[in-house]
Chains A and B, each alone.
Chain A
């Protein structure tokens, strides 16, 4: 992994080419992360992938985490891997939940990393995040007519309560 100074160097270089893209860095538990403005996510990802010194050409994983009650709420994580130097770096884009029925949007990176195809569909399926430019953004793991975004923190887990005699007798 690039260590903490290395991470700051990367941030500096991205700032030169795309000012305002990197909002913060974090080096927690030996894992570097760049927190990036969602509007410029494609610029940052393509910079990391194509710049001769960086070459993070393998997207290990694209996943979303819901940081409710913190705001902005959704964090889209891109785990990038440089296979030649064997280094990982994480890029996080924080999305807020828009008002009303609108869904949060971010650009799709399937052009840069074709592996993101299924993974963005999964993020859409579970969190309702729309990836602009995705070739086929439909539900992948849940039935097509399912209503709701299950993996959000405010969605109930579901299931049925188990019928225990004690509860039935005393609480009806």
Chain B
């Protein structure tokens, strides 16, 4: 194309079809989400499913750009807590998380690291939320590698600034813990409260 080939409207349309404008933030987030470097960190049973099994050929994590597993926390930006966090390991995990550089994300994989899992006892921290911020929880015991990949894509959407609407947003609801402890979400909206009372009346009728 030379200058002068297209004029006016034709030129505008030509340019529109070929150029994408976006913000720098969006482009940066797009790049970040598609080239995550996970930390090679496995605690217990979930570690066999991820990071080991998810990286292997059948459930290839490399197709999402996360092939470069890094051993050093300084070079990684995603920590997948795969397995039960015992009380002896918790400070170690926190230290690893602190050593990672911003921006960093944490996925709590499996029931044990999300909430203590089946081990409600003296030795397991009841949820890694208790000592570090977690961006995504993946339920399962152990979650299938497909579930981990689904969680991973959710995390990618979150990084791109377009997080999936959680159940709190979708249903205008509050979690039991928040509600019980009288937190800000302990009063549902007027419509939700009315709908709940109506449903209770119906079920008692």
Query: Measuring CB to CB, which residues of chain A are less than 8 angstroms from any residue of chain B?
Result: 142-143, 150, 155-160, 162-165, 168
Contact = CB atoms under 8 A, between A and B. Distances in A.
A95 B83 CA distance: 37
A168 B182 CA distance: 11
B177 interface: yes
The 8 tightest CB contacts between A and B, nearest first, are A158-B122, A159-B120, A168-B180, A143-B88, A158-B121, A160-B126, A159-B121, A157-B121
Consensus secondary structure, chain A interface:
loop
B87 interface: yes
Interface string B100-125: 00000000000000001001111110
Nearest to B87: A143
Contacts of A156: 122
Contacts of B121: 157-159
A165 B116 contact: no
Nearest to A159: B120
Interface of B: 87-88, 116, 119-124, 126, 176-177, 179-180
Given A142-B88, A143-B87, A143-B88, A159 B180 contact: no
A158 B87 CA distance: 12
29 contacts: A142-B87, A142-B88, A143-B87, A143-B88, A150-B122, A150-B123, A155-B122, A157-B120, A157-B121, A157-B122, A158-B120, A158-B122, A159-B116, A159-B120, A159-B121, A159-B122, A159-B124, A159-B126, A160-B116, A160-B120, A160-B126, A163-B176, A163-B177, A164-B176, A165-B179, A165-B180, A168-B176, A168-B179, A168-B180
Contacts of B124: 159
A165 B176 contact: yes
Q: Is the interface of B mostly helix, strand, loop or mixed?
A: loop
Nearest to A164: B176
A142 B88 CA distance: 7
A150 B119 CA distance: 15
A29 to B, nearest CB: 29
Given A155-B122, A158-B122, A158-B123, 19 more contacts: A142-B123, A143-B87, A143-B88, A150-B122, A150-B123, A157-B120, A157-B122, A158-B120, A158-B121, A159-B116, A159-B120, A159-B121, A159-B124, A160-B116, A160-B120, A162-B120, A163-B180, A164-B176, A165-B176
Contacts of B116: 159-160
